[in-house]
Amino acid sequence: MFRRGLFYSYLAIYLRYFLALSVTQTTLFATLPMLLNVIFQTFVWGPVSDRFQLRRTLIIRGELLAGIGTVLLWYAHTLTENQTMAGYILIAGLSVIEIFWSMSNVGWSALISDIYPGKERNAVQGRLTSIGGVGRIAGIWIGGLLYDGLGLAYEGWGFHRGALFFIASGAMFVSVLPMLLVPEGGILREKGGAQADAPDIPAGSHRIFMIFLAAMVFINFGRNAVAVILTPYLVLDSGFGVSSRVVSYIVNMQSVGIIITGLAMGWSSRRLGDGKTLCIGTVLAAASLLIFALCGTLPLIYVSSFLRGTSEVIIFSSAYAFASVLIPAEQRGRQFSYFNATFFLSWGTAGTFIAGPIIDYAIACGAGEMTAYRLAFFSAFILTLIGLGILAVLLFCLLPKQHPRPAAAPL
């Protein structure tokens, strides 16, 4: 999360204002890489992980290759003086790098389920996300300082001169070191422990899993539709007009929410169950979007950012734990790739096909920039509510009828 906070929090600003891409063009830096991430998780790395029961190996190789690719990408995008072309080189390069990151993504998802029993997975994910939140704060803070060269250079300096690329790459290399101490994982190696969950998978889990994925598509597409447009919205001259440093403070309120909430995930899961906890996280995500859509004061933006972080860790941890109960151990690589797809596709595709076009069309029709962005936030709010409705039907209507109170039912 350090590298994503460092790199992606400011990349949208760099593409939009330094390289002068449109809003929709800017969202492509998330859409195309995420499409390749999902394709390779689903059709390449997921099946490879299941067939050979590889987890740690995929993580290590993915991070190393992505780190090398990040340095090469900086050099490639400096080879042209055409700003639009440089932007598209970045987008294409990030798409290739995401193929390597997708190895790491599917490896992590399967490894945690291999090592930890179902009742501990929510808490483990919460703690890991909380630790990641600390790294995210550091990354965003450093990114805010280096984006304009400590205030001594120009806006976009950190990307244009490569500093942010080099630090992000170094973080990937360093992240490999602790993985050398982690077991490979895989059901052929990790006997007992997490495998005790396998016999408790409820009948009809595949149908439940499909409905659950449908709910997660709407929830994730709603809350992540604005992920790419958020920082450009904050720096609008016609709106809040904040500096890159203030952007780091606002975005880091999300990190604070992640850290605090992540530490409490085990308690909430035990008291409420993964399903109800997921509903609470979705409500908080919708509230955050509504505040962004309606408020005009900076203090409320900080509140909304905090809620966004709180909801992110709740949704991520509880949804993962919910899904892990429904997925057979021998199919973790492939089926977790389906689950991961609801997040990775939403982070880019929702911006390109929902938020970006809404903003560009509204501006073309004569609406002010602030109004156009707020329409996108409100549309994201509606999508999130639809996902909450599907989830509520699954939890409170379908699951009680099919499984009155089974041990593994993730209510």
**φ, ψ at 50 (rounded to 5°):** -70, -45
- In 3D space, the residue among 238, 298, 245, 235 whose CA is nearest the CA of residue 13 turns out to be 235
Q: Interior CA angle at 225 toward 300 and 165, to 5°?
A: 90
- In 3D space, the residue among 98, 217, 88, 245 whose CA is nearest the CA of residue 158 turns out to be 245
pLDDT value at position 198? 43
CA 43 to chain centre: 20
C-alpha distances out from residue 293 to 30, 76, 196, 230, 382, Å? 22, 38, 46, 11, 11
pLDDT value at position 409? 47
Coil/strand/helix, residue 240: coil
pLDDT in tens, 172-223: 999 999 999 988 987 655 444 444 444 455 556 788 999 999 999 999 999 9
CA–CA gap between residue 25 and residue 3 (Å, rounded)? 23
**φ, ψ at 155 (rounded to 5°):** -60, 125
Q: Are 100 and 73 in contact (CB under 8 A)?
A: no
pLDDT value at position 188? 57
pLDDT value at position 202? 57
- Give 85-131 as a DSSP string: HHHHHHHHHHHHHHHHHHHHHHHHHHHHHHHS-HHHHHHHHHHHHHH
Q: What is the CATH number of domain 2-183+195-402?
A: 1.20.1250.20
Q: Are 234 and 240 in contact (CB under 8 A)?
A: yes
Q: Interior CA angle at 110 toward 285 and 125, to 5°?
A: 40
pLDDT in tens, 274-309: 999 999 999 999 999 999 999 888 999 999 999 999
Give the start-to-end residue ranges of the domains of the chain. 2-183+195-402
Radius of gyration of the chain (CA): 21
pLDDT value at position 66? 95
Positions in the chain whose pLDDT score sits under 70: 187-204, 402-411
pLDDT value at position 199? 40
pLDDT value at position 401? 74
Total residues belonging to the chain: 411
